[in-house]
């Protein structure tokens, strides 16, 4: 599958994605407003790409139409703009790439790694002895690997995974190895109704945009080996990965879609964005000097681009209460 280069302009100059060693991206889902955890992912991915002289792309992961909330795509973009997090090129949307997902699906079929599955989620949960994973994955026990039961409907299409370890080097966590049968089992890439799953879509999306660096929250770390396996089968280039510490609530739990919603809190609070951005830089271990607390978002990002050091990102996450900014 050929790369589709983003249309990137500055003045009258058009740039090609192949001109850049680092192409990062931020890929929120328009199922709710951005919270402080998603802002950390946006800032972290932006600073790492720009510090390397690269591009920073924006993609809306809007494949799951049933979970989308009207107006949230625009809300997300306005929120990013209010922090001066300006993306390069046009905004990409998963909903525009179903044809490319279909081509990748056919390539997986031709590679002989796909099979139809008739198991329901309840049946998988009852058959699985492994605990629920961080990314809400129920390890599949391989019930349909040998063929569907008689008269069983196709509920999904699954990738038959290898038994060997899949390893990669995370820029924050170091070397990560995972044996897919123990964590996910044979995972789904398309539902029975034809809708493509996240694991396939995100791999194709990053390939189409020429993404070379994926910076996102640690909650997605466990799914990375699955994506690497798809990349390997399809012959795609593997990007480098960095999984950032998670922002938690006051109870230490990961933020939900309803927690610390930024656009709802900002309102008409003057300067709230800059104070929150300063707090995010501190959360990422970048130690911004106290004199920057009164600076604009643009100045804070300029400082961050110049001084960003991935080696300073802390091992543990924690809370960033919005009340500190407002």
Please tell me the distance from the alpha carbon of residue 114 to that of residue 106, in angstroms, as a whole number: 9
Output the six-digit token pair for 47.
């600073």
Q: How many of the other CB atoms lie within 10 Å of CB of 113?
A: 18
Options 3.40.50.620, 3.30.930.10, 3.20.130.10, 3.40.190.10; CATH for 8-98+203-324 is 3.40.50.620
pLDDT given at position 149: 82
Q: What is the DSSP string of 173-214?
A: TEEEEEEHHHHTBSEEEEETTSPBPHHHHHHHHHHHHT--EE
pLDDT given at position 11: 39
Q: How many of the other CB atoms lie within 10 Å of CB of 197?
A: 19
pLDDT given at position 271: 64
Q: Return the H-helix or E-strand segment holding 155.
A: none
Nearest in space to 237 (alpha carbons), one of 168, 164, 310? 168
- pTM equals 0.89
Instruction: Encode 265-279: b = buried (16+ Cβ within 10 Å), e = exposed.
Output: bbeeeeebbbbbbbb
Give ranges for CATH 3.40.50.620 in the chain.
8-98+203-324
Task: With beta carbons less than 8 A apart as the criterion, state whether 40 and 16 touch.
Answer: no
14 vs 8, 50, 208, 239, CA distance in Å? 6, 18, 18, 24
Instruction: Give the CA dihedral 151, 156, 162, 163, nearest 10 degrees.
Output: -70
pLDDT given at position 27: 96
Please tell me the distance from the alpha carbon of residue 196 to that of residue 191, in angstroms, as a whole number: 6
The C-alpha R_g of the chain, in whole angstroms, comes to 20
pLDDT given at position 321: 66
**Could you tell me the fold of the domain covering 120-201?**
3.90.800
The ranges of the chain with pLDDT < 50 are 1-7, 9-14, 130-132, 268
Q: What is the DSSP string of 109-133?
A: HHTT-EEEE---HHHHHHH--SPPP
Please tell me the distance from the alpha carbon of residue 209 to that of residue 94, in angstroms, as a whole number: 12
Q: How many residues does the chain have?
A: 326
pLDDT given at position 12: 41
DSSP code for 140: B
pLDDT given at position 184: 92
Measured at the CA of 179, the angle between CA 175 and CA 183, to 5 degrees, comes to 110
Instruction: Give the CA dihedral 284, 287, 288, 289, nearest 10 degrees.
Output: 170
Give ranges for CATH 3.90.800 in the chain.
120-201
Please tell me the distance from the alpha carbon of residue 112 to that of residue 7, in angstroms, as a whole number: 35
């Amino acid at each position: 599958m050929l790369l589709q280069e983003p249309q990137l302009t500055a003045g009258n100059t058009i740039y090609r994605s192949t001109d850049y060693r680092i192409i990062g991206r931020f890929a929120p889902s328009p199922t709710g407003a951005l919270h402080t955890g998603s802002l950390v992912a946006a800032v972290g991915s932006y600073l790492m790409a720009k510090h390397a002289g690269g591009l920073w792309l924006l993609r809306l992961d809007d494949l799951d139409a049933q979970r989308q909330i009207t107006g949230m795509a625009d809300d997300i973009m306005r929120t990013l703009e209010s922090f001066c997090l300006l993306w390069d090129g046009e905004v990409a949307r998963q909903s525009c790439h179903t044809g490319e997902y279909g081509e990748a699906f056919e390539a997986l079929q031709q590679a002989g790694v796909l099979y139809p599955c008739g198991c329901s989620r309840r049946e998988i949960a009852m058959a699985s002895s492994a605990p629920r994973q961080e990314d809400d994955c129920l390890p599949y026990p391989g019930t349909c690997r040998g063929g569907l039961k008689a008269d069983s409907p196709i509920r999904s299409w699954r990738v038959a995974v290898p038994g060997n370890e899949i390893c990669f080097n995370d820029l924050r966590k170091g070397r990560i190895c995972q044996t897919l049968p123990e964590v996910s089992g044979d995972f789904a890439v398309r539902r029975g109704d034809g809708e493509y799953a996240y694991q396939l879509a995100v791999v194709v999306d990053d390939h189409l945009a020429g993404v070379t660096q994926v910076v996102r929250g640690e909650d997605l770390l466990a799914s990375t080996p699955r994506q690497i396996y798809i990349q390997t089968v399809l012959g795609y280039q593997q990007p480098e990965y960095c999984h950032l510490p998670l922002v938690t609530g006051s109870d230490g739990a990961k933020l939900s879609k309803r927690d610390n919603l930024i656009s709802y809190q900002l309102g008409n609070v003057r300067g709230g964005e800059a104070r929150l951005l300063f707090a995010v830089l501190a959360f990422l271990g970048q130690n911004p000097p106290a004199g920057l607390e009164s600076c604009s978002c643009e100045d804070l990002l300029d400082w961050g681009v110049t001084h960003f050091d991935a080696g300073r990102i802390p091992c543990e996450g924690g809370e960033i209460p919005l009340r500190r900014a407002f």
